[in-house]
């Protein structure tokens, strides 16, 4: 997703970018710089989702088409999702959501792997320090006996 598209969706949903920047605890200038990117990183979308307590998919929804009928059987889309059969242009929205969620899963997997490596490293360091403490206690006992 481009920064321009996300910017439009944020303004539609949250009125001003200054409000969005405030919620993200960042400056409006920093937010504008992020939104000037040709491709917004999923990590930023995840940060938005966490800040607003919503699913990242919310930012992939085109709210301009909400409550408009789509092809066939009077199906409608609204902010909550699709009702009835999914036809017409909604397929591209779903594909974009799937792609975004797949990217988020990859990032989560990378984070989990990194944290597991850090945990193993910490466990090794703790074991080494425990050994060193045991050695020092033995040495203290030896010195006391002299």
Which residues lie closer than 8 Å to 2 by C-beta, 6 or more apart? 37, 38, 39, 40
The pTM of the whole model exceeds 0.75: no
Coil vs helix vs strand at 37:
coil
CA dihedral 126, 132, 137, 139 (to 10 degrees): 180
- pLDDT string in tens for the chain (146-residue length): 788 888 888 888 888 888 888 888 989 899 888 888 888 888 888 888 888 888 888 777 665 544 333 333 344 444 444 444 444 456 777 888 888 888 889 889 888 999 999 999 999 999 999 999 999 999 999 999 98
């Amino acid at each position: 997703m481009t920064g321009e598209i996300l910017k439009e969706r944020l303004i539609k949903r949250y009125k001003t970018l200054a409000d969005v920047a405030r919620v993200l605890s960042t400056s409006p200038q920093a937010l504008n710089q992020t939104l000037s990117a040709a491709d917004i990183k999923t990590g930023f979308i995840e940060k938005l989702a966490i800040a607003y307590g919503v699913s990242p998919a919310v930012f992939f929804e085109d709210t301009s088409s909400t409550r408009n009928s789509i092809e066939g059987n009077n199906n409608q889309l609204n902010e909550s999702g699709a009702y009835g059969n999914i036809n017409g242009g909604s397929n591209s929205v779903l594909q974009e959501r799937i792609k975004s969620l797949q990217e988020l899963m990859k990032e989560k997997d990378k984070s989990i792997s990194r944290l597991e490596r850090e945990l193993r490293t910490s466990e090794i360091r703790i074991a080494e320090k425990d050994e060193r403490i045991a050695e020092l206690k033995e040495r203290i006992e030896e010195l006391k006996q002299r």
